[in-house]
Structure 1
Amino acid sequence: MIAGAALTPSSVRKDEGVRIRIDLAYDGSGFHGWAAQPGLRTVQGELSAAAATALRMPSVELVCAGRTDAGVHARGQVVHLDVEPDALARSAGRAPDPPLEALVRRLNGILPADVRVRRAVEAAPGFDARFSALWRRYAYRVADTPAAVDPLVRGHVLAWPRPVDVEAMNEAAVLLLGQHDFASFCKQREGATTIRVLQELSWRRLPSGVAEATVRADAFCHSMVRSLVGCLLAVGEGRRPVAWAGEILAAERRDASVPVVHAHGLTLEEVAYPPDAELGARVELTRARRERA
């Protein structure tokens, strides 16, 4: 566990709240995604309930960097919440640790074992877990040979029945990089743009033999990563030519021939933010609707 940081004296003022950044990891196997849904177990639901208990508040509002789908895992999820300073003091009680270190310990004592708070720190002014983010990085892992299939990690690695050509998938991936309308790879939501900047999409072989995709973008629309991976796997196993990936992108509409691979092979690994002085400007830029370059 990464230790939490203490609040600075200037941040603990009775007339102002404190924004807390939480770095979070979870195994998504037992969750219906991040977002709270009535009657369903979600990461947001578990964390908000635990935070309300730890802080002795009736409810807690959480904002995350990326709303992961059902079954998707995270090592590098980032969340923020706003609390009154006296709530932190109350939660710490007589514990000798600084308030935020005590909060991390209390949260992990309340949360189930498939969700862990890695650290909690006071956020810099202007920080927003969602809108301040520069990019999100996901990994998708595929075991495409019998030797690479490990039953101990079956909940995190997709077992694929045919071998894939990593070089061919990397050739196809180049066609998808940059700013585009990714409507062909997204489940459209009314009023939401599908224009994204895909900054990195590459494959490599791990020593275990697993094929691992790294996918990094300013943001992702619903099912985008899993559709991109499905498209490239079709190329990698030889069912489609390299050029097919570019043709699908250019069509700007969903195509049933593009498979959406299973969620369990996908993990949110990291979210990056600008220097503290640039957080506010980044929020304004992100909130503006994306337009074609």
Structure 2
Amino acid sequence: MKDPVRWRLDIAYDGAAFHGWAAQAGLRTVQGELEHWITMVLRLAAPAQLTVAGRTDAGVHARGQVAHVDLPADRDGTHLARRLARVLPADVAVNAVSRAPNGFDARFSATWRRYVYRLWDADSVPDPLLRNHVTRVPERLDPQVMDRAAGLLVGLRDFAPFCRRKEGATTIRHLTHFSVARLDDACGSIACTVQADAFCHSMVRSLVGALWAVGAGRRDLSWLERVAAHPVRHADVHVMRPEGLCLEEVGYPPDEELAARASQARAVRALPCDAEPG
């Protein structure tokens, strides 16, 4: 019997009506929806099983999610995206299906994930048609101060103050980019763009929650530095609502480096002994 063939899926979804990515009994999830329809349209003997680049929480959106699925060698995934388009509900789409290169793992081969959290503040002009994709706050925010605050968090550090700890998992992450700017759009939206090698549970929404406090003038930069140095989750950090968050893109190395990257990512992470906390 021939070995299964791995296929890469590029996925987008509106997370408003989903209980997150991960399959959960009795709940509507993105993984559950996709695995059901892949199994159906390909008439698989066993249910399809997807591995995803980043599990999103309930209500969080994605336009650049990536997953892989291993299919029997006698099932051709070339036309899978077109067949899924006929059956999938309107709030999820598989935009491309391609044969994965050797060593590809949607989760462990990824080198970075980029999220954008969108806000409307007192200076914004909300568009009701976009209300399920932006979080509204009552105060007037200062994006420049928020951007300076974001810069303090860039680097390799333990993000335990901003994470919900998972038993046996590390909270050390390398935040490579974090910026805040008011967009030149009709609404005057504020975009918080954050990129890292990986993220912990609720990490992005907690980071933005900390910036919200600074941008609204309730906290200052020294407070944020003290929070960032805290050894465990900090009680003063607010977790933002999910609707403003969207996974925009996942990055991968060249094909010849995929397997090595996957092996590296599976290793338990620790800070270098001489590393600065920021």
TM-score bin, normalised by smaller chain: over 0.9
CA deviations over 1:53-97 (Å, ceiling 9, x no partner): 111113001000000000000000000001123122xxxxxxxxx
CA deviations over 1:123-169 (Å, ceiling 9, x no partner): 00000000000000000000113543111100000111011111111
Aligned 1:110-149 pairs, distance under 5 A: 110-145=87-122, 147-149=124-126
Question: Are the counterparts in 1 of residues 49 and 70 from structure 2 also a CA contact under 8 Å?
Answer: yes
Aligned residue in 1 for 2:233: 254
Aligned residue in 2 for 1:205: 182
CA RMSD of aligned residues (A): 1.1
Aligned residue in 1 for 2:155: 178
Aligned residue in 2 for 1:26: 13
- The residue type equivalent to 1:37 in the other structure is Q
How far did residue 22 of structure 1 move?
0.3
- The residue type equivalent to 2:205 in the other structure is R
- The residue type equivalent to 1:143 in the other structure is W
- Distance of 1:263 and 1:39 partners within structure 2: 21
- Distance of 2:157 and 2:211 partners within structure 1: 17
- The residue type equivalent to 1:216 in the other structure is Q
- Distance of 2:81 and 2:230 partners within structure 1: 47
- Distance of 1:238 and 1:163 partners within structure 2: 9
From 23, 27, 48, give the equivalent of 1:36. 23
Question: Are the counterparts in 2 of residues 173 and 245 from structure 1 also a CA contact under 8 Å?
Answer: no
- Distance of 1:289 and 1:242 partners within structure 2: 31
- Distance of 2:97 and 2:236 partners within structure 1: 43
Matched, 1:222 2:201: yes
Aligned residue in 2 for 1:194: 171
How far did residue 252 of structure 1 move?
2.2
- The residue type equivalent to 2:161 in the other structure is S
Aligned residue in 2 for 1:16: 3
Aligned residue in 2 for 1:270: 249
Unaligned runs of 5+ in 1: 1-13, 89-98
User: How many residues are aligned here?
Assistant: 269
- The residue type equivalent to 2:180 in the other structure is W
- The residue type equivalent to 1:231 in the other structure is A
- The residue type equivalent to 2:170 in the other structure is T
Question: Are the counterparts in 2 of residues 169 and 242 from structure 1 also a CA contact under 8 Å?
Answer: no
- Distance of 1:147 and 1:241 partners within structure 2: 23
Aligned 1:229-248 pairs, distance under 5 A: 229-248=208-227
- Distance of 2:72 and 2:179 partners within structure 1: 44
- Distance of 2:122 and 2:214 partners within structure 1: 17
- Distance of 2:231 and 2:175 partners within structure 1: 15
Matched, 1:154 2:131: yes
- TM value normalised by structure 2: 0.95
